[in-house]
Amino acid sequence: MRWRDLPSLSLLRAFDATARAGSFAEAGRVLNVTHAAVTQAVRALEADLGVQLVRRAGRTVALTGAGEALARSLAEGFGAIAAGVEALRQREARRIVRVTTTTFIAETHVMPRLPEFWARHPGVEVALSPSPARIDLARDGFDMAIRALSDGWEEAPDEEIRPLCRSPVIAVCAPSLLARGLHPQDMPWVMGADRHLELAEVAGTGLDPDRLRRVEVGSPHLEMSACRQGLGAATATEIICRADLEAGRLVRLPLSGLPVVTYALVLPKGPRRPAVTAFADWLATIF
């Protein structure tokens, strides 16, 4: 297709609206412009094509033979465009909102509240992909990420970062472990995939990380479960532990010097589906 050989799309739209409505005035109302603007556009199209397309008939217009032929072609063309756009919108509306986040934020904070989102937005499917890894959102097909960011974070050129909350890292253990009367230095500590980071956090409390007895459970999905069962103390953000602390399944150890984490929503820059915008806006209300 040679676009430069076609008349202006605005002229074709004006003629299509006139052919459908049967008058310049009604076409103007459809296009939200004056009837004079429609008249001028149709006359400009006639001049561009070198053929008369409409004839005035009182307050209405009648199509010439050339006008009828062009009107049929435009109806088919614009109809195909409208059908294609609607099909795209329907397909995108049905596409699942894919979210990557940490195991613990997915399990303790987002999933328990998903029924609230679905009550507001029925039909929007959401898939949470728990992973400790930092994922390239655009490359891996994710719509957004919920990430824990350390102080000094910077926004990447192709990402938009929306801070959700600040949450302190705390040390916790099961009441049964605390009842043993052990000093935190002598307790077993559950360590996971981020063991080096956790050891650095513990070192900030004054404990000697080299003397800690470490318990490894092999999977990040099991770390908090192991902590609840009294297998060891652990460090985690307060937002992750909040429900367990309130329910008495965990207790907070009196250790200071632990960092504060910023939880943030990370979105690829660029156009977004309404479902993605709805879920992103909802997430901002639950942190």
Asked if residue 149 and residue 107 are part of one domain, the reply reads yes
Q: Are residues 278 and 248 located together in one domain of the fold?
A: no
Contact 52, 114 (CB under 8 A): no
Domain boundary among 93, 114, 134: 93
How far is the CA of 208 from the CAs of 186, 212, 243, in angstroms? Answer: 10, 7, 29
Looking at the structure, do residues 144 and 89 belong to the same domain, yes or no?
A: no
Whether residues 193 and 274 fall in one domain? no
Q: What is the tally of structural domains in the chain?
A: 3
CA distance 42 to 136: 50
What is the full per-residue pLDDT of the chain (287 aa) written as tens digits?
677 778 888 999 999 999 999 999 998 999 999 989 999 999 999 999 999 999 987 778 899 999 999 999 999 988 888 889 888 877 766 789 999 998 889 988 999 999 999 999 998 999 998 876 777 888 888 999 999 887 767 777 888 999 999 999 999 999 999 999 999 999 999 986 556 556 677 778 889 888 889 888 877 778 889 999 999 999 999 999 999 999 999 999 999 999 899 999 999 988 889 999 999 999 999 99
Of 47, 78, 93, the position where a domain reaches its end is: 93
Beta bridge partners of 118: none
Report pLDDT for 1: 65
Residues 175 and 51 in one domain: no
- Check residue 196 and give its pLDDT: 56
- Of residues 118, 128, 124, 120, the one with CA closest to residue 98: 128
CATH number of the domain at 42, please.
Answer: 1.10.10.10
Q: Are 74 and 256 in contact (CB under 8 A)?
A: no
Both 84 and 225 in one domain: the answer is: no
Q: What pLDDT, in 10s, does the model give residues 220-246?
A: 778 889 999 999 999 999 999 999 999
Q: Which domain holds residue 49?
A: 3-93
Matching residue, tokens 């990370």: 266
- The 10s digit of each residue's pLDDT in 131-159 is 767 778 888 889 999 998 877 677 778 88
CB within 8 Å of 14: residues ≥ 6 apart? 27, 31, 37, 38, 41, 42, 45
Parallel, antiparallel, or unpaired: how do β-strands 144-149 and 97-101 relate? parallel
Do 277 and 156 lie in a common domain? yes
| 118 in the same domain as 151 | yes
